[in-house]
Amino acid sequence: MIPYGRQSISEEDIAAVIEVLRSDLITQGPVADVFERAVADYCGVAHAVVVANGTAALHLATLALGLGPGGLLWTSPITFVASANCARYVGADVDFVDIDPATYNMSVDALAAKLGVAEAEGSLPDVVVPVHFAGASCDMAAIRELSQRYGFKVLEDAAHAIGGRYRDRPVGSCEFAEVATFSFHPVKIITSGEGGMIVTNDEEIAAHARLLHTHGVTRDESIMIGSSHGQWYYQQVALGFNYRITDIQAALGLSQMKRIDEFVARRNEIADVYREAFADLPLLCQEIPDDVLSAYHLFMIELERHDRAYVYERLREFNVGTHVHYIPVHLQPYYQDLGFRAGQFPNAEAFYDRAVTLPLYPTMTQEEVETVVSAVRTVLSE
């Protein structure tokens, strides 16, 4: 079975991990700091905080933005549930903005219309979380313009998109957002086994996230109450979490950063093959704007005539590991219990009904790519 995603681990990656395993410090050590700096430099931002996973990054980012009980976060319904759950973790409410039917990202028009209604009703969001779906950046300049008009903060969920670009700037540059977050799960662009990262140009956001990712404990006398008792002394000055990453994981992530552009280039090559091969078939592919370089975490086809369940199962009979990304968050039972209902976000629901994710990862061989192409052409010709 050709999986829809797979990590690429080199001998150099393995050697980097082994080097840490043979060192004195395997949990909290110097490699995590170097990994942070490497990602910050790559994105062109001032600060990066590495954490246990992408969900932890979202959680801490919402806290660092000041979201809490009585607050409101808007995000896309086509995403993994973590993009919305981060608001619920801090006691805030959630709402959704429908997707653009071509790009599958948050629709700027839908966002603008919803903001106009919210302003009239006195229910504007505190934070908006655009999700760079499948690796392609949202229209961040337009979203930033709306944020300045309506007064909300922007948290980019870039879990799919490290290595991508928007207006010739790296995704995560935070040119149009207060903060962005990444995920380093094995099927993402680079991996640290598990891990996530918060990137920002705001020193206060970074400091808040850094404090909270290690229990709210500090040895920094400048934020302690009273004076230090000695070099051993620490204080818990906030209620934080154990969201740290180990140096073992950081070593893998740091090593993977050396190949990030190679990974993204290969993903784009495969995507180009798919687009050309499927051009005459009854399906749609995600539209990538001219000012966006997608990291291509995922490649979906949107079926125009065929039944999705049939295509999903038939492709698997050809050993093509299909998947579906994503079940709209507002249709999940937890969010249905909060009052959301089918029909509220029709573009997202229509996309879900027709979408199938195909294999795409940098170590795919040409034979595997051809197998996927042949299987899709065969099944959609039936």
User: Which among 227, 257, 287 is the end of a domain?
Assistant: 257
Q: By residue range, what is the domain housing residue 38?
A: 11-257
CATH of the domain at 73: 3.40.640.10
- Calculate Rg over the CA atoms of the chain: 21
- The string over 159-171, giving b where at least 16 C-beta atoms fall within 10 Å of a residue's C-beta and e elsewhere, is bbbbbbbbeebbb
Q: Are residues 228 and 326 in the same domain?
A: no
What pLDDT is stored for residue 70 in this prediction?
97
- Domain tally, the chain: 2
What pLDDT is stored for residue 272 in this prediction?
98
What pLDDT is stored for residue 302 in this prediction?
98
Q: Are residues 136 and 177 in the same domain?
A: yes
- Per-residue pLDDT tens digits for 120-175: 999 999 999 999 999 999 999 999 999 999 999 999 999 999 999 999 999 999 99
Tokens 């797979």, located at residue: 6
Q: Sort strands 127-129 and 292-293 into parallel, antiparallel or unpaired.
A: unpaired
Q: Are residues 72 and 186 in the same domain?
A: yes
Domain-located, residue 269: yes
Q: Are residues 253 and 264 in the same domain?
A: no
Tokens 């000695």, located at residue: 230
State pTM to two decimals: 0.97
Taking residue 255's Cβ as centre, other Cβ atoms within 10 Å add up to: 23
Domain-located, residue 170: yes
Q: Are residues 147 and 112 in the same domain?
A: yes
> Within the chain, which residues score under 70 in pLDDT?
none
Q: Are residues 242 and 298 in the same domain?
A: no
Q: 182 φ, ψ to 5°?
A: -120, 160
Upstream peptide bond of 166 is cis (omega within 30 degrees of 0)? no
| Helical H segments across 11-81, by residue range | 11-21, 30-43, 54-64
